[in-house]
Amino acid sequence: MIVVTIDTLRADHVTPQIAPALDQLRKTSIEFTDAVTVAPLTLPAHASLFTGLYPPRHGVHDNHVSSLPEDVPTYAARLKQRGYATGAFVSAVMLDHRYGLDRGFDVYDDRIDGPERAAVDTLGRAGTWLQTASRPFFLWIHLFEPHAPYRTGTYASEVTAVDTELATFFTMLRARQLWDDIVLSVTSDHGESLGEHGEKTHGFFVYDSTIRIPWLLHAPGRRAARFAPQVRIVDQMATIMALADAGASAPGGIDGVNLLPFVDGNRSPDLEAYSETYLPRDQFNWSELRALRRAGRKFIDAPQPELYDVQADPAESANLYAEERPNAESLARQLAAVERSGSHNTRVRSSNDVEADKFMALGYIGFSPPLAGARADRGADPKAKLPVYTLTMDAIELSETGRPDAALHALRRARALDADVTQVHFLEGAILGGRGDFRGAAAALERTLALNPRFVAARLKLALAYLRLGHDRAAEQQLDAVLRDEPANYRAYHDLAAIAYARGEFDHAEALERKALAIKSDYFDGWNALGAALIMKHQASAAVDALQKATDINPRSGQALHNLSLALAAAARRDEAERAAVRACAADRQYCR
């Protein structure tokens, strides 16, 4: 059983011209032509896929905001209990194991150097796992190419790039004689707006450009078919497991259903499809959006409500709310019932500045928890705030493509439209700090924290700005404040250790780095800094151990390899020290002797 999720893939881009391998797969698969996701965001959509639950019931509403509660059962855990070997290979930071989707997987490969991993690498690792996996197996592969920024130039070319890699993977499955025996599902978590409704990418609205997804289901003995009635992402695993005979029926208490009886009977399941986006609320303190789609009508619960006939008006251009008020109210009641079914509150987690930078590289803003004592009303309608949002997203893109001046200009325009958007000030501080204007960065980050004192990533960046300005005590105060709010924030311990190291307090630096590493054992910067502190304490053997861990995590770091060569030399392991020095030079010319 293999599930492939292609991030950000629009349903209308699985064509012979753009995705020939997927188009070929379509010819031997059940194609669900009207599949709907729960959110235009990676983490909540995948949480629903692998639990069969809507977000109000599993508690995950946004990327890098919350993690899946431990008491929410997953399909992977169920399959593992049934004797399946389970493996997952993901390609983006928002699916890091810390968000809870690793539950039930024997192997959860999320080691990614930057914010994302190329399809060729992810598929290669998955193929290697398949060589030794026992039978039966459940394999999840997540691919990221179509997600912005578009590395190959256009959205369509990114879809073609991932399709090309999948063609190679499918050929490998045939060569290993697996193709005729596996259930293979290919789908997406959400689509991409590509400018529709004024939205460039996804996450801000819940229109069909981002809510409709492709779904192809290939299985032994099944003929190709097109199933036109509306289905949901929450139905997928129940249907896949029924095809694979991995469970006689879908587990009780979930929102999803097994669709096979409806496919075989060629009849509609008459399902409602719930969708939401909390990004406007969580990241901008504006209103969330929720939608319910059923029988060709779609209601969007917003401060200015919307109703569309998605069959006659697939572009969702004519709002029928005023003229079809009874229809809208009926769908609103059904939506409220879905909301009331929720049993899990979101477990809020804040991103540190390392995570914030990775998310920014993918076009997201570092998360700040909702304001304490936030307004009692819903906040502004996202439709009314689209210009501010667009300028903010433009600023991220400009910054990530090496145009900081233009990015700052966009942010100042956004600030002129709305001076109370925390994220605008945060981004300004991040960009100014990145270009070395630490005084300007500190001012912008101070404004950020005045608006939202709980914005941890902003406080961490402010501490760094204070350090660069020589205000060590002010930096320590910011880091202490972070740890009062979040005792498990490894980055704060690491930055405090750096201050201690600079003062020559190597015992204290070591203790702080060990606290950071107790929280995040694969923290490269922590192992590297710990090794440096141990060298200064003349504990060469322990330093070698720490620095070998650092170079295992990042074998291409010239600094870590240089530090390792120093530790090995201090431990009188001269041949190994010389080899490490050669590797350091090859990785970074500044370490050449």
The β-bridge partners of 309 are: 297
pLDDT digits (tens, 9 = 90+) for 329-382: 999 999 999 998 876 555 455 455 556 566 655 556 655 555 544 455 779 999
Write the single-letter amino acid at 296: G
pLDDT at 252: 74
Q: Which of 59, 42, 52 is nearest to 348 (CA)?
A: 59
| Secondary structure of residue 508 in the 3-state scheme | helix
pLDDT at 354: 55
Percent of the chain with pLDDT over 90: 83
Look-up: residue for tokens 């300007």? 440
Q: Architecture of domain 2-271 in CATH? A: 3-Layer(aba) Sandwich (3.40)
pLDDT digits (tens, 9 = 90+) for 217-236: 999 889 999 999 999 999 99
pLDDT at 88: 98
Distance CA 166, CA 18 (A): 13
SS (H, E, C) 332-376: HHHHHHHHHCCCCCCCECCCCHHHHHHHHHCCCCCCCCCCCCCCC
Distance CA 62, CA 60 (A): 6
Q: What is the mean pLDDT of residues 325-329?
A: 97
Q: Regarding beta strands 273-277 and 225-227, do their DSSP bridges make them parallel or antiparallel, or are they unpaired? A: unpaired
109 phi and psi, to 5 degrees? -90, 100
Work out whether the CA dihedral 474, 480, 485, 491 comes out positive or negative.
Answer: positive
* Range among 82-96, 109-123, 354-368 with highest mean pLDDT value: 82-96
Q: What is the mean pLDDT of residues 427-440?
A: 96
Question: How far is residue 243 from each of residues 73, 216, 227, 228, 288, measured CA to CA in Å?
Answer: 21, 13, 16, 19, 36
Q: Mean pLDDT across the chain, nearest whole number?
A: 92
Q: What is the mean pLDDT of residues 162-177?
A: 97
Residue 25 pLDDT > 70:
yes
The neighbour count for residue 94, using CB atoms within 10 Å, is: 27
Of 60-69, 279-288, 407-416, the least confident:
60-69
Class of domain 281-340: alpha beta
pLDDT digits (tens, 9 = 90+) for 288-314: 999 999 999 999 999 999 999 999 999
Write the single-letter amino acid at 250: A
pLDDT at 372: 45
| Secondary structure of residue 384 in the 3-state scheme | helix
Quick check: bond before 136 cis, omega within 30?
Answer: yes
Question: How far is residue 282 from each of residues 63, 91, 95, 370, 456, measured CA to CA in Å?
Answer: 10, 24, 18, 6, 14
pLDDT digits (tens, 9 = 90+) for 492-549: 999 999 999 999 999 999 999 999 999 999 999 999 999 999 999 999 999 999 999 9
Tokens of 549: 């861990």
Question: How far is residue 32 from each of residues 4, 26, 117, 227, measured CA to CA in Å?
Answer: 15, 10, 28, 5
Q: What is the mean pLDDT of residues 272-287?
A: 94
pLDDT at 356: 59
At 23, is the pLDDT very low, low, confident or very high (cuts 50, 70, 90)?
Answer: very high
Q: Tell me if 281-340 shares its fold with 353-591.
A: no
Distance CA 331, CA 453 (A): 38
Domain extents for the chain?
2-271, 281-340, 353-591
Instruction: Give CA torsion, residues 80, 73, 181, 142, to 10 deg.
Output: -110
Contact 279, 273 (CB under 8 A): no
pLDDT at 373: 46
Distance CA 389, CA 394 (A): 9
**Residue 548: which residues within 8 A CB-CB, separation 6 or more?**
564
| Secondary structure of residue 143 in the 3-state scheme | strand
Q: Following DSSP, what letter does each residue of 215-280 receive, concatenated?
A: EEEE-TTPPPEEE-S-EEGGGHHHHHHHHTTSSSSPPTT-S----HHHHHHT------EEEEE-HH
Quick check: bond before 326 cis, omega within 30?
Answer: no
The β-bridge partners of 423 are: none
Tokens of 251: 């587990």
Task: Extract long-range pairs of 357-360: CB within 8 Å, 24+ residues apart.
Answer: 357/430, 358/93, 358/114, 358/115, 359/63, 359/64, 359/93, 359/94, 359/115, 360/396, 360/399, 360/400, 360/427, 360/430
pLDDT digits (tens, 9 = 90+) for 550-582: 999 999 999 999 999 999 999 999 999 999 999
Q: Following DSSP, what letter does each residue of 64-94 receive, concatenated?
A: TTB---TTS--HHHHHHHTT-EEEEE--BGG
Residue 286 pLDDT > 60:
yes
Q: What is the mean pLDDT of residues 323-327?
A: 96
Distance CA 308, CA 320 (A): 6
Q: What is the mean pLDDT of residues 41-66?
A: 93
Q: Which of 233, 244, 276, 250 is nearest to 32 (CA)?
A: 233
pLDDT digits (tens, 9 = 90+) for 449-496: 999 998 999 999 999 999 999 999 999 999 999 999 899 999 999 999
Count of alpha carbons within 13 angstroms of residue 44, beta-carbon side: 28
Read off the pTM: 0.89
Residue 81 pLDDT > 80:
yes
* Alpha carbon 4 to chain centroid, angstroms: 16
Does the domain at 353-591 match CATH 1.25.40.10? Answer given as yes
